[in-house]
Chain A
Amino acid sequence: MSDRGLIFNIQRFSLHDGPGIRTVVFFKGCPLHCQWCQNPEGIGVNRNLFRYRDRCIGCMACQDACSGGAISITDSGPLIDRAKCRLCLECVTVCPAGALEAAGREVSVSELAEEVLKDRIIFEESGGGVTISGGEPLLQPAFLVALLKTLKEQGIHTAIETSGCAPCQALEEAVLWADLILYDLKLVDAGKSSYYTGGTNALILGNLKALVGKGRRIRVRMPLIPTINDDRDSLQQAAFFLREIGIDELELIPYHNLGTAKYTGLDLEYKLPNLRELSPGQIAAVKSTLNEYGITVKSEV
């Protein structure tokens, strides 16, 4: 059992990832790479280095500190030669202005538990708890289970937010220790799924079916991505699949583009720059389509 894991964020006062007021822990690393992902720093299994040009004051501290000669300061802030960067992150330590920041920090289960338990009183008052999200939490299964067990011992309500793209056995074990599973369903069509998420979804759909079959408490959530899965065919496929395995409720998570600036900060390309957020009218239309196919949209978060 692994006592240590890699996380990239802890977000307190989260209202939309399970009941009550929650703290969400974002595990780093994801087997998928969905084109619309708004947490690109969560995908890789190693740490990442962000650069923020607006914050740079041009003091050159990072350039001086970089032993690999990977950083140069320009008019548009720090430029990073990613090929040369060895991710020692010394630049992050010396940057006074937060213009260079690391994504990813290694923590032990006990350190992490101590940190998330800071809001215990708020969990108790609100019926909230801790949600493990990512990335894909099941990419660090031993760490995940160890954390869930520790929190359970402390009487904390836990939830896992998963893509379902994980070995069935690992998923089933983790699920035993969590009070709630938030399960993402993106696309049912195999071809589209493979194209947009980089993974085949046989595993995802199979796992969902298996978990439901075993009577696990699951809340299915669909990130609603305009032009990709909000069309009638995709919705119909999703609805038929869900009803076939005995689910008639769905939460929608309408696409947002709050994280696109992160791609620039990581020097990555965002493949869907022209995607617009859905209007309330469009979302309402999706809901009614899903209703037609026998799926109740439980809430929209």
Chain B
Amino acid sequence: MSTARRGISERVQKLREQSENTEPSISIQRAALVTEAYRKYVGSVSVPMLRALTFKKINENKVICINEGELLVGERGPAPQTAPTYPELCCHTLDDLDVISQREKISFTVSDDVKAVQEQEIIPYWQGRSMRDKIFEQMTGQWHDCYQAGLFTEFMEQRAPGHTVAGDKIYRLGMLDLKEEIAAELNGLDYRSDADAENKGEQLKAMAVCAEALITFARRHAQKARELASIESSPGRKAELQQIAAVCERVPAHAPRTMWEALQYYWFVHLGVITELNTWDAFCPGRLDQHLEPFYREEIKAGTMTREKAKELLECFWIKFNNQPAPPKVGITLKESGTYTDFANINLGGLKPDGTDGVNELTYLLLEVIDEMRLLQPSTNIQVSKKNPDQFIKKAGEVIRKGWGQPSVFNVEAVIQELLIQGKTLPDARCGGTSGCVETGAFGKESYILTGYFNLTKVLEITLNRGRDPQNGKLLGIDTGDPRSFESFDQLMDAFEKNLHHFIDIKIAGNQVIEKLYAEQMPAPFLSLVIDDCIKNGRDYNNGGARYNTNYIQGVGIGSITDSLTALKLHIYDQNKFSWDELLAALHSDFGGREQIRQFLIHKTPHYGNDDDYADSIMQDVFRRFHRLVDGRKTFRGGTYRINMLPTTCHVYFGSVIGATPDGRAAGSPLSEGISPVQGVDLNGPTAVIKSAAKMDHLLTGGTLLNLKFSPQVLSGEKGLESLVHLVRSYFRLDGHHIQFNVVDAETLKKAQQNPEAYRSLIVRVAGYSDYFNNLSEQLQNEIITRTAHSST
């Protein structure tokens, strides 16, 4: 696919090809600079200042890269597709590097030089000192057992707390303005009566060092651009390089005046954030169309900008994101997020701070950019308000139905209500949006941290086994009694809740320790510059400095656990079809010799996702218990715990650690993803799926993820596009948080043909008629596959 040349101009096409075709590799430069800085400063300065001086060291010394033809400059590593490492967080062993370079998926080239530096410089200094080592050391045996068993994952064990998004401040204030704010706060510190004044002072001074470091980094790019200009033979490119130099002199020191400066400023900030630490990189410009619109409007009016030029700049901007693979992950963290993709997710549309329709000319221009670029990063979404015109959804729908997965679709009214329920002000909520996968946040003002996925179905498995993990016999949970003795379904649910409570307690106890470690040892003074109110509070982003602080636990597999519980309720308690003995024996044997039972469980049980209250009410019950047990707890840094419901790739990993389940799922198979139904059981079509999913109270979450799969024909033509709009509007009227349309290609249809059970709900449309792919004869399936291959361009 990467052979197609995409982009508005030759330059964009070349840069895009470079981005797509370069193999990701590891750069050791950052690790070496961090190690040098730590050797020099540890013990002689405060921790925030240590982090600031480390940041400064990197920005003053890392290789400056200006790629041929590009207009926006700056890479995280020395070149596109080079990923630095973060030994202060995770110090890779030589074995890790071998695995990283040799694994089949998500591999990185690791040169011998890199290995040598890792062995001689990095490992000797960082072994035992990295956050990963400290975290694992401080976790209890119980925590380790649960972690290894796959009850939950831990986001901070090798990546720093992230999941925040830039607000609009950088388009109004330069780094020098922020330094003035810092100076004012420093002046106002009351050392006599504020016991914390000393710490605040150190934090503020560290922030000032970081602001200056980023200016230096930009000026080094200006210098490099001037050097390149002096030897450039093409007059056109020479002028561009001079322009780049001028832009990099202006920003980030001062506020931007043009769209070019605004984009370059954001990009330096982005690099600052992801260079300072390897935050789970949901960091992104957020509401990009709204931030850029004033610049665009002014420049168009002044005649200094054309639509095409703006588009070219935006496409250059897109490529910058795609040039940065997520830092290499290892262990369980790789399993929960098995992708190169980091999670920048740009928001389009939505509302303006005053509550009026936020769709503007740039919204539509950006949709064209998304379509033309077809890059995995940055990911994109549309924020749909009831105040936005249908035309907006239709334009996005034209991109969506091409079937490569972007943009996803969010409900502004739900997002705002979620934020208000969490205590944000209305203007802050309106300036918020969604980031990462589906996570709600007050952009520019909130530290919202995903702490780990939580395996709801595993808790059921352990409950059914009297607190033991049947995979290894260890007692991990609470022995709530032999299920054979449960007289009612309610008794089973109570036992499940006891174990749920138990494991959530273990997860949160671990989180508190980790949060404290980050607050004390790994502050992020640069990130703190751009997130309000860290400067005003004189506190770090990782220590509760932001205006809002939220921790999330992400529930996984709601479809699988619902269907499992539904089967138990129906067949054991309501219809007496099976005894506990029969069912438990079937589960323990992974349905060996009991295919009849498995088939019965699959085919004769109502499933979540079919708008059937029998199953859907159990989903609601599980959701409420999970919510009740997590929501409102306090975090170490003064924030609040919330839940959200999303999996990334964790449903596959979580499934791999669970034996057979009462929904007929075989041992080790993936769980359901997001809040989508179990794969292939939603047989009543997409309207039934959204009805079922909307029975969850989305407003109590910080995000839910719903995937709908279609064949391209279903959404074809004007009627298909209108129906997409109507599905979105209907789901959002029911307070659904997010929906994405998975438009399947011929490849998927072939898989469906080979593995029909897993694709029972796949709808295909041929000529004026839609049907389940599974229902068709092989001959017809082949015909549709052929046709699909032709139509899904």
* A residues at B contact (CB < 8 Å): 11-16, 20-21, 38, 54, 57, 59, 61, 95-98, 118-119, 121-122, 125-126, 128, 253-258, 260-261, 277, 300-301
Jot down 16 A-B pairs with beta carbons below 8 A, ordered by A. A12-B685, A14-B770, A15-B719, A15-B723, A16-B719, A20-B726, A21-B723, A95-B603, A96-B597, A96-B600, A96-B603, A96-B604, A118-B688, A256-B769, A257-B780, A301-B768
Residues of chain A with a CB closer than 8 A to B599's CB = 57, 59, 96-98
Give the segment of B123-131, B221-229, B450-458, B728-736 that binds chain A.
B728-736
Residue of B684, B733, B776 touching A12 (CB-CB under 8 A): B684
Min CB distance B475 to A, Å, is 35
Q: Are B733 and A126 in contact (CB under 8 A)?
A: no
**Bound CA–CA A149/B777 (angstroms):** 39
Q: Are B733 and A16 in contact (CB under 8 A)?
A: no
B67 adjacent to chain A (CB < 8 Å): no
Q: Are B780 and A258 in contact (CB under 8 A)?
A: yes
Q: Are A96 and B596 in contact (CB under 8 A)?
A: yes
* B residues at A contact (CB < 8 Å): 595-600, 603-604, 611, 684-688, 690-691, 714, 719-720, 722-723, 726-727, 729-730, 733-734, 756, 763, 766-771, 775-777, 780
Q: Are B687 and A61 in contact (CB under 8 A)?
A: no
Min CB distance B686 to A, Å, is 5
Measured CB to CB, the nearest residue on chain B to A253 is: B768
Q: Are A258 and B771 in contact (CB under 8 A)?
A: yes
Q: Are B687 and A13 in contact (CB under 8 A)?
A: yes
Residue of B604, B734, B771 touching A121 (CB-CB under 8 A): B734
A119-B691 contact in complex given A12-B684, A96-B603, A125-B726, C-beta closer than 8 Å: yes
A97-B766 contact in complex given A12-B684, A126-B723, C-beta closer than 8 Å: no
Residues of chain A with a CB closer than 8 A to B688's CB = 12, 118
**Bound CA–CA A256/B764 (angstroms):** 13
Min CB distance B197 to A, Å, is 57
**Bound CA–CA A57/B591 (angstroms):** 14
Which of B595, B598, B727, B730 gathers the greatest number of chain A CB atoms within 10 Å? B730
Residues of chain B with a CB closer than 8 A to A122's CB = 687, 690, 726-727, 730
Residues of chain B with a CB closer than 8 A to A256's CB = 766-769
Residues of chain A with a CB closer than 8 A to B777's CB = 260-261
Residues of chain A with a CB closer than 8 A to B684's CB = 12
**Bound CA–CA A116/B777 (angstroms):** 29
Which of A20, A59, A258, A301 gathers the greatest number of chain B CB atoms within 10 Å? A258
Q: Are A97 and B603 in contact (CB under 8 A)?
A: yes
**Bound CA–CA A47/B710 (angstroms):** 31
**Bound CA–CA A122/B756 (angstroms):** 29
Residues of chain A with a CB closer than 8 A to B730's CB = 121-122, 125-126
Residues of chain B with a CB closer than 8 A to A12's CB = 684-685, 687-688
**Bound CA–CA A38/B771 (angstroms):** 12
Min CB distance B390 to A, Å, is 10
Which of B763, B769, B775, B780 gathers the greatest number of chain A CB atoms within 10 Å? B769
Q: Are B770 and A15 in contact (CB under 8 A)?
A: yes
**Bound CA–CA A128/B600 (angstroms):** 36
Min CB distance A179 to B, Å, is 18
Residues of chain B with a CB closer than 8 A to A300's CB = 768
Min CB distance B17 to A, Å, is 35
Q: Are B733 and A125 in contact (CB under 8 A)?
A: yes
Residue of B600, B604, B685 touching A11 (CB-CB under 8 A): B685
Q: Are B685 and A13 in contact (CB under 8 A)?
A: yes
Q: Are B767 and A254 in contact (CB under 8 A)?
A: yes
Q: Are A254 and B768 in contact (CB under 8 A)?
A: yes
Q: Are B596 and A57 in contact (CB under 8 A)?
A: yes
Which of B599, B729, B733 gathers the greatest number of chain A CB atoms within 10 Å? B599
Residues of chain A with a CB closer than 8 A to B722's CB = 126
**Bound CA–CA A221/B492 (angstroms):** 55
A119-B596 contact in complex given A16-B719, A21-B727, A254-B768, C-beta closer than 8 Å: no
Min CB distance A272 to B, Å, is 15
Residues of chain B with a CB closer than 8 A to A128's CB = 726
Min CB distance B711 to A, Å, is 13
**Bound CA–CA A20/B714 (angstroms):** 14
**Bound CA–CA A257/B780 (angstroms):** 8
Q: Are B603 and A98 in contact (CB under 8 A)?
A: yes
Measured CB to CB, the nearest residue on chain A to B715 is: A15
**Bound CA–CA A49/B776 (angstroms):** 18
Measured CB to CB, the nearest residue on chain B to A255 is: B767
Measured CB to CB, the nearest residue on chain B to A121 is: B730
Measured CB to CB, the nearest residue on chain B to A223 is: B768
Min CB distance A34 to B, Å, is 15
Residues of chain A with a CB closer than 8 A to B603's CB = 95-98
**Bound CA–CA A54/B756 (angstroms):** 10
**Bound CA–CA A11/B765 (angstroms):** 14
**Bound CA–CA A233/B685 (angstroms):** 40
A118-B771 contact in complex given A57-B595, A257-B780, C-beta closer than 8 Å: no
Residue of B595, B611, B690, B719 touching A59 (CB-CB under 8 A): B595
Min CB distance A93 to B, Å, is 9
Known: A12-B684, A121-B734, A261-B780. 5 other contacts (CB 8 A): A13-B763, A15-B720, A21-B687, A95-B603, A261-B775
Residues of chain B with a CB closer than 8 A to A257's CB = 780
Q: Are B600 and A118 in contact (CB under 8 A)?
A: no
8 pairs of A and B residues whose beta carbons are closest in the complex? A126-B726, A96-B600, A96-B599, A13-B685, A301-B768, A97-B599, A261-B777, A12-B685
**Bound CA–CA A97/B596 (angstroms):** 8
**Bound CA–CA A35/B734 (angstroms):** 44
Q: Are A258 and B596 in contact (CB under 8 A)?
A: no
Residues of chain A with a CB closer than 8 A to B686's CB = 13
Min CB distance A297 to B, Å, is 13
**Bound CA–CA A284/B714 (angstroms):** 21
Measured CB to CB, the nearest residue on chain A to B766 is: A256
Measured CB to CB, the nearest residue on chain A to B787 is: A277
Residues of chain A with a CB closer than 8 A to B685's CB = 11-13
**Bound CA–CA A119/B768 (angstroms):** 21
Min CB distance A253 to B, Å, is 5
**Bound CA–CA A59/B600 (angstroms):** 11
**Bound CA–CA A267/B609 (angstroms):** 33
Q: Are A119 and B687 in contact (CB under 8 A)?
A: yes
**Bound CA–CA A249/B600 (angstroms):** 50
Residue of A96, A118, A253, A260 touching B691 (CB-CB under 8 A): A118
Residues of chain B with a CB closer than 8 A to A97's CB = 599, 603
**Bound CA–CA A13/B690 (angstroms):** 11
A121-B733 contact in complex given A12-B684, A16-B719, A96-B599, C-beta closer than 8 Å: yes
**Bound CA–CA A14/B771 (angstroms):** 10
**Bound CA–CA A96/B596 (angstroms):** 6
Measured CB to CB, the nearest residue on chain B to A17 is: B768
Min CB distance A266 to B, Å, is 14
**Bound CA–CA A301/B716 (angstroms):** 11
**Bound CA–CA A95/B595 (angstroms):** 12
**Bound CA–CA A244/B611 (angstroms):** 47
Q: Are A277 and B767 in contact (CB under 8 A)?
A: yes
Residues of chain A with a CB closer than 8 A to B611's CB = 118
Residues of chain B with a CB closer than 8 A to A126's CB = 722-723, 726, 730
**Bound CA–CA A95/B730 (angstroms):** 37
Residues of chain A with a CB closer than 8 A to B729's CB = 125
Residues of chain A with a CB closer than 8 A to B723's CB = 13, 15, 21, 126
**Bound CA–CA A260/B756 (angstroms):** 19
Which of B598, B686, B687, B688 gathers the greatest number of chain A CB atoms within 10 Å? B687
**Bound CA–CA A61/B599 (angstroms):** 12
Measured CB to CB, the nearest residue on chain A to B720 is: A15
Measured CB to CB, the nearest residue on chain A to B595 is: A57
Residues of chain B with a CB closer than 8 A to A301's CB = 768
Measured CB to CB, the nearest residue on chain A to B600 is: A96
Min CB distance A203 to B, Å, is 26
**Bound CA–CA A301/B733 (angstroms):** 29
Measured CB to CB, the nearest residue on chain B to A98 is: B603
Residues of chain A with a CB closer than 8 A to B726's CB = 20-21, 122, 125-126, 128
Residues of chain A with a CB closer than 8 A to B766's CB = 256, 258, 277
